[in-house]
Amino acid sequence: MNFFKRFSLSRDMGIDLGTANTLIYISGKGIVLEEPSVVAIDRDKTPIAVGEEARKMLGRTPGNIIALRPLRDGVIADFYSAEIMLSEFIRRAHEGNPLGNPRMVIGIPSGITGVERRAVIEAATRAGAKEVGLIDEPVAAALGAGLPVTEATGNMIIDIGGGTTEVAVLSLQGRVLSESVRVAGDELTEAIVQYMRKVHNLIIGERTAEDIKIKLGSAYPIHNEEPVQEVRGLHLMSGLPRTITIKGGEVRESMAEPLSTIVDAVKRTLERTPPELAADIIDRGIMLAGGGALMKGLDMLISHETGIVTHVAEDPLRCVVKGTGEVLKNPKILERILNESARMA
Ligand SMILES: Nc1ncnc2c1ncn2[C@@H]1O[C@H](COP(=O)(O)OP(=O)(O)OP(=O)(O)O)[C@@H](O)[C@H]1O
């Protein structure tokens, strides 16, 4: 194929296909879509809603409709709904401006299996991709966070999404070492659901727990006076609606276990880091990306536990998709990624 034709003004796409959110970047345009990764289907499997509209239905659907997340722990858990979701998001991203069959660069967790990788390639191909390139999320996140990953210096990035936490040490555009744990924002939310049930006998849904996590949660004691919040749910014994008040300290306590799993993954990765790169990381600090990076005090907790200064990236929720955009701007990296993925498919 003619090189100039292949890399001319094509409207290629970069996609962060996430457990919680999907974002799409189009060459020459920037980020054009940000939607929750949720699909609502009826009993006959007909799609009713996709994205934000479907998210509002989570936990609130009548018996004949299910709102579900096609991805779990960073990988496709339900192929049918993943394909519906991806096709619909790509259609919305086109906005009446057909892109033909674009090439797509998709961020995926670094720890996933070959079968899981092939499922992403197949879903994207069926959704209209001409060629698909997969990029490890931590590499994309580092590019999107503006880390100098092309230089011969060690950088540590921690990408905390909904389903996976990716800890990676990068140098010279490559991943030197990484660890992916299937514990991230969703587990923090789930830990709050479990705590409310066990300690307060209150049944709450995922959306309420996420709201508590965002408004009241912290990973490290950051307030002199702990904030409080009213929570509504169903009382376990009476089965009736009830409102109780909880404190910020309780929320932190409820999330202690998944938070320590994340911190342990960071420590293990640091222990395995070659000394020269470890010295660079001590100088430059650790970078946090992904929605989980917005958890208040998480940077302080990681600094406290590792002794290394930790920064939160600017716009952490968009780092991965911005990184896929950086790949689209770089024909050499793009070609390498497309070729690697073509061999895998
Ligand atoms: N302000 C906030 N405080 C704490 N957590 C937050 C905040 N905002 C978003 N989150 C959490 O971030 C997570 C989503 O992050 P993100 O969109 O980066 O994940 P994802 O890319 O969809 O997931 P993955 O990379 O695991 O597939 C959710 O668990 C959400 O609750």
Strands 103-108 and 131-136 come out as: parallel
pLDDT tier, 99 (very low <50, low <70, confident <90, very high otherwise): low
Q: What are phi and psi of 147, to 5 degrees?
A: -75, 145
Average pLDDT of the chain, as a whole number: 91
Q: How far is the CA of 8 from the centre of ligand 1 (A)?
A: 34
Q: Which CATH architecture has domain 141-183+260-317?
A: 2-Layer Sandwich (3.30)
Please state, in angstroms and rounded to a whole number, the distance separating the CA atoms of residues 141 and 293.
Answer: 12
Residue with tokens 């917005």: 294
Q: Give the domain ranges of the chain.
A: 3-140+319-344, 141-183+260-317, 185-256
CATH homologous superfamily of 185-256 equals ATPase, substrate binding domain, subdomain 4 (3.90.640.10)
Task: Give the integer Cα–Cα distance in Å for 186 and 36.
Answer: 13
CATH of 3-140+319-344, one of 2.60.40.420, 3.30.420.40, 3.10.450.240, 1.10.260.40: 3.30.420.40
Q: Answer whether 141-183+260-317 and 185-256 agree in fold.
A: no
| Sheet containing 47-50, strands listed edge to edge, beginning at the edge strand earlier in sequence | 47-50, 39-42, 65-68
- For the stretch 192-247, pLDDT in tens is 999 999 999 999 999 999 999 999 999 999 877 888 999 999 999 999 999 999 99
22 CA to centre of ligand 1 in angstroms: 11
Question: Model confidence over 26-67: pLDDT tens digits?
Answer: 999 999 999 999 999 998 889 999 999 999 888 777 878 899
Q: Which of 55-64, 155-164, 192-201, 254-263 has the lowest mean pLDDT?
A: 55-64
| 211 assigned to a ligand binding site | yes
Phi, psi of 177 (to 5 degrees): -155, 155
> Which atom of ligand 1 is nearest to 290's Cα?
18
Please state which of the ranges 150-154, 243-247, 279-283, 304-308 shows the lowest mean pLDDT.
Answer: 150-154
Give the three-class secondary structure for 16: strand
Would you say 270 is a known binding-site residue? no
Cβ(248)–Cβ(173) below 8 Å: no
Rg, C-alpha atoms of the chain: 21
Q: How far is the CA of 257 from the centre of ligand 1 (A)?
A: 18
d(CA 119, CA 123): 6
Q: Has 210 been labeled as part of a binding site?
A: yes
pTM listed for this prediction: 0.92
Task: Give residues (CB < 6 A) around ligand 1.
Answer: 16, 18-21, 74, 137, 161-164, 184-186, 189, 210, 213-214, 290-292, 294-295, 317
Å from CA of 20 to ligand 1 middle: 6
**Distance from the alpha carbon of residue 226 to the mean position of ligand 1, in angstroms:** 23
pLDDT tens digits for range 313-322: 999 999 999 9
Residue nearest to ligand 1 atom 25, measured at CA: 161
Identify the residue whose C-alpha is closest to ligand 1 atom 12.
Answer: 291
What DSSP designation does 317 have?
Answer: G
